[in-house]
Chains A and B, each alone.
Chain A
Amino acid sequence: MPVQERKTYDALIVGSGASGSWVAKELTEQGMEVLMLEAGPPRIPTRDFTEHVWPYQTKFHGFGDQTALLTDQPIQRLCYACDEFSHQFFINDTEHPYTFPLDKPFMWIRGRQVGGKTFCWARESYRYSDYEFKAASRDGHELDWPFDYKELEPYYDKVESFIGVSGSREGLPQMPDGKFLPPMNLSCGMLLAKEVIEKRFGWRLMPDRVANLTVPHNGRPACHYCNECQRGCYTASYFNSPSVTLPAAARTGRFTLLSDAIVSDVIVGSDGKATGVHYVGRETKVHGEARAKIVVLAAAALESTRILLNSTSPRFPQGIGNSSGVLGHYLMDHFTLEGAGGEIESLKGSQREPTGNPCGYLIPKYTNTEGHKNGNFLRGYRFDGDAGQQLYEHAFSLPGYGRGWRDTVRHDIPYYFSFEAQGECLPRYDNYVELDPTKKDAWGIPVLHVHASYGENEHVMAKAMRNDIGDVLDAMKVKNPVPPNQDLSVFGKNIHECGTARMGNDPKKSVLNRYNQVHGVKNVFVTDGAAFVTQGCYEPTLTIMAISARAAGHMVEASRKGEL
């Protein structure tokens, strides 16, 4: 007999990351009783956080137990943030399998814990503009979002003002300015690059806009620039949900968190309305039900879609929100050309510089914006990178040994400029996820089978990216220039997977309406990246938070009117 939560909450939220925590905060602050179900365990700072641990304090000096990583986390280990210090924030791949055609590998990075991937995200926070929201109106490909930038702007304001985002105001229509804390400083190499690139190409180079505090903000101290954000942050100086939005929800006294509860499907009554969810205890494997008047899926794009697909019933044999056949489709993730760079000879030195900014630099998209039309492909790309002293990487290529060699490693410090490009992936029907017909995870829930690959637009865009990268390295006159990798990044590598339950005004072409409500099941919402219609070339998390806050506002209003 499954465990039944007796109470019927006003709202039930699946997922405790960026999206779910914003919905929880907004709903509880407006007087609603909220239950949050999180699939993973709580992370305890004194046990799980490792910032300020030195490499020599770990068995493998930070390089990780490669045997364990290959055995238990063969996919997660590929993420830059999954190492000896922070692998605990990532799933065990053997418990969470997924499948795909062998010739279309998909890299799926997941963090299942209270806080989700907000422990390990790179914190880059850029607003989308109508270049993203109304892209289809410009170029005719697929759909527009069912709202424009102006409508989302107040929610961007709200989110940035609460969580704290540092950045510089640039006045660029393709990447709107926000409510910023002071920006981080550029390194000497970045300042040089800024001068060269802005003069030669007319492109703006700026510090990354990141959800790190450069000044005290809302009771949280400023960042102290240890640059180890993905190891946890005791001082709560960057945004993660356990230290920012979830405590805000908890302070209302109307927030209940049930961790280690893996939701398998939404329960729908005979009237077509959701009544709650089924879940399985992560450790106990005991089945339970939780009940609410509103169900919000914020489990991360593909997990929310997986729950919808698995929510079958006589009324919804293909899953909730799938009457159109669109559920699961239009999966997107950015692609990147990486690995380019070279040495800035003029900045080679013998004295160590202070280091620790948890961000690099960004050059926003110019292609296919006003005055920068490129007729060879749709949409566009941006650049980002870093510039700083090498620590000991140069030792590998320095011939010799002994004291003289060691002195050279210490006193001839190369200065390295890295440069990469990140491009938009067009939404395509044939990039999709479905439930694997046979394979199940460790809790008996069907896993996803992913079909994803980059298309012609991405490959043509990559040529332009490659040309630009070469031109920049030439302009910078770097020594020993390294071109970017030959191949596009593997699909999923950027961990910005979006789409599969897109919003839209037409129920025949979308899964959600303009307020993230599932077409046909008005008390079920999907507020995470699954809702995205386009992705642009910028990180999605800030936009996820803004649409979550907006959707929550609608939930409150609709609830009060008795519409849900």
Chain B
Amino acid sequence: MKILNDLQQDMLIEAFNLGMGKAAASLSEMVQEEVLLSVPDIVFMNKANAANELSNQSAGNVSGVSQDFSGPFGGEALLLFPVEKSLELVRLLLQNTVPLENLTEFEEEALNEIGNIILNAGLSSLANLFGQEIKTELPYFRQGSCKEMLRVTDESSTTEDVVLLLRVDFKLKKHAVDGYVVFLLDMVSIKSLAESIDQYLSSLSIH
């Protein structure tokens, strides 16, 4: 699904990576260990296809942090990990060694904060790039199948439901955990995003 041209896409990736760099710095300071975050690639996809793509990457349910946002473009931002990866990530960061099978209340809360930092970084980088403000709400923890997380219903599998899918590489000490950031946007928001990128590029006189 081609929503942006190559230049627009590269611009977006760079913006996200700048934001992720700041998020990584925050996390590194919090956990007193080097944390590296990068966004190697982004892709626009039909929501149902995105759910299938994520299901292929993670057998079983996913854990994640959800955050609504609004502004020149609005929707829901999600940070998703396969369930066992979310346990692994949080326990690496908190240095918890007890292998409890489920996230405890405090681990869920910590994952909420990690998600909040990463999602805010992603959205802020867009806002900074375009000189516009994006309002974010408080994050909340969710868990379920990829379809449930992306709110795919039988009625909603249309080309109008597009998501922006980012793979986020999360590296800590000798461990690497892959997660995904998903921006659930409607077509109006997608168009608005494309227009904002174009305006920014115009301001740089680059086409």
Judge: A and B partners, yes or no.
no
Which A residues lie at the B interface, using CB under 8 A? Answer: none
